Structure 1
Amino acid sequence: MYVRHLGLRDFRSWAHVDLELEPGATVLGGPNGYGKTNLVEALWYSSTLGSHRVANDAPLIRSGADRAVISTIVVNEGRELAVDLEIAAGRANKVRLNRSPVRHGREVVGVLRAVLFAPEDLALVRGDPSERRRYLDELASIRRPRIAGVRADYAQVLRQRTALLKSGSGALYRGDRSVLDTLDVWDAQLALHGSELMAARIDLVNALAPEVEKAYQLLAPGTRTAAVVYRPKLELFAADANPTTADLQEALLAELGRRRNAELERGVCLVGPHRDELELRLGDRPVKGFASHGESWSMALALRLASYELLTSEGAEPVLLLDDVFAELDTARRRALAGVAASAEQVLITAAVPDDVPADWVARHIRINVTEGDDGRVSELIGTTT
């Protein structure tokens, strides 16, 4: 799989660009702040329908514009697929596949399979559990595109149920018992979609765990064994259990019933996969709070390398996106990452300093510049060398 074309309109610092890409390695070069990462971010958005840098879409639209457009042409086993994403300010985004509108944006998830390495990856190890849940859910959706719909359905149920819980306590105080019947309905929906999401995560972690162990040993040979464990907030299951979707649905319903009073008192949803954790371990200790800076970086890289190896082993080698990541690594970790990236069908690297890229790589180099426009800095391509 590789991206043949990337087109942007009013995306971040890019007013307009049409970039023809090829298999192999491409280095996007230029000083910091020139728009290199914005190109990688656009490709990641095309893959996952989300940014790795911001939680909402508003910052993606160039200052002064009311929409941004990302257009990609992906080649997979000789077949070309075109994805066009229109990101609108204050309106629903529009999505086209092969120039035809699709009903739900999630229908294009999986067209471009990508694995992104970025400085923000350290948050996978040191950040909140939500960072690790997002990592799992994005990878699960790329691996099994149907999961993107499960995620969307669960998120909608969670919003509706949370809104009901916020108003439910007052309704009960006024004697309106109908809120309990409505909660029963939302409990059933949360258990239905939540169990599917949890089952997908558990299946993913079971497949991912040996790849994480191997990747960490590649990055830090002879050190402690790395492990990943999915920790559902359900007391009925041990960490090493392998429950079915039906088991999880039943357990969620039971836990929702047990914690209903607490949820009504607090006005928040205390049960469901949005509260679960992906635990990272080195030897017999959790990584968070105990690992050194170098160990934390190795674990973050191991998670991304494991993603790449898992997707590749399942028959869909992803595009590798390396966003200024070599600058963060020591020589040994650079060498290990470069060894994996060198064999990828397509890899795109951003680098502010040419020396950050392995000297023995055969790569196409694209230089980026900026000019000052009426609406701030505008990025532009200034040359390509091989």
Structure 2
Amino acid sequence: MQKRNKYTQVEDFLSDESFQSWILSKIDNDDWEEWTLESRRRAKLVQDARALLLAMKVPEQTITQPELYRALQTTWTKIEEKESKNNSIQGSKIKFLKKYFLSGIAAALVVSLGSVWFYNNTTPHSTIVTYNELINKNNEGLVEQTNNSDKAQIITLSDGSSVLLQPKSKLSYPKIFTGSERKVYLSGEGFFEISKNPNKPFFVYANEIITKVVGTSFRVKAYSDQPNVEVLVRTGKVRVKSNSLVAKSDQEEVVLLPNQALRFQRKDLSFNKITNITQDLVLTRSVGNIEQLSFEFTDIPVSQIFETIEQAYLVNIDYPKNKLKDCHLTTSLSDQPLMEKLKIICNSIGNNTTFEMIGNQIIIRSNGCN
């Protein structure tokens, strides 16, 4: 309930499943109508979102201007009745706001319908593959994790692989990988570090594309409201192809090596392979710490190694500083998931050194270096 009080844009409502249920299925379990009538500004946002959502769902329906006004008049009448009880606004001001409300929302709906018509007639709808379509086809009993925070979150999978999930992103995955393949489903952006298992390849389904790996690290950026899907490789090798659900797809497969990337363009279903990411401004600007920092350490203090991990994964590491202040390590951690990195470090320190990970917090326990 408190979450929607912070909604300031139409997009906030469109992504709310409860709002979608109210508008499309007439199911108002969360008292949307009563909440809407509490504020004129809120009512305008709700009506804008309602108009766009309905237009997206029924793009072929013809709605006349009189029909728009009749529908909007009903909502405004309810607002007037509520305001008249509160005596919070004078009659002349009500008339002015009423005129603005009706004309503004009607215009917004006309624009929305026009935009949807343009989208429907210029974009092949059959090529749009959504996150929900993909997970609905899976029968493994998936776990879904959504990052609604303002910072990246680390997810550890049952095989030891790790995913740094960016804000406004979702990842669905089985609690335990079974069978001969490992499959996860992404909406948004995530940086993957996959544990090696040649007998059990790893697949990331991200809208229109599928990324296949055995053991490597790479980033996938697949937001449903953006024109492109991107894959960028940090270590190892990946294979990328179109999802079979994409109409007219020739199932082209592109092989990417370290520091190479691929951009799938939705408008024409084309693959653009980028062999030198430093020459692509969009990619270079989006590269995060985890893709830039080196994990090759030669006689480096453990404290500095922990600091590098904190910067890369946006985690907090709590460790006994006094006991480990003289510890130095030489190790290569470039091609391991986070959990494997931590195991290698703890084994190298020795002396009953262990770690525990709770969310984005890592606790190191140790009696000191060997």
Give the TM-score band, short-chain normalised.
under 0.3
TM-score, structure 1 normalization: 0.25
TM-score, structure 2 normalization: 0.26
Q: Which has the larger radius of gyration?
A: 2
Q: Please state which structure has a larger fraction of its residues in helix.
A: 1
